[in-house]
Amino acid sequence: MTTQKIDIAGKLAGFTEHWAPRRIARVNDYEVKVAKVRGEFVWHAHEDTDELFLVVAGTLTIRLRDGDVVLGPGEMYVVPRGTEHCPAADEEAHILLFEPSGTTNTGTAGGTRTREPVDA
pLDDT digits (tens, 9 = 90+) for 57-73: 999 999 999 999 999 99
Q: What is the pTM of this model?
A: 0.90
Q: pLDDT value at position 39?
A: 97
What is the 3-state secondary structure of 11-59? HHHCCCCECCCEEEEEECCEEEEEEEEEEECCCECCCCCCEEEEEEECC
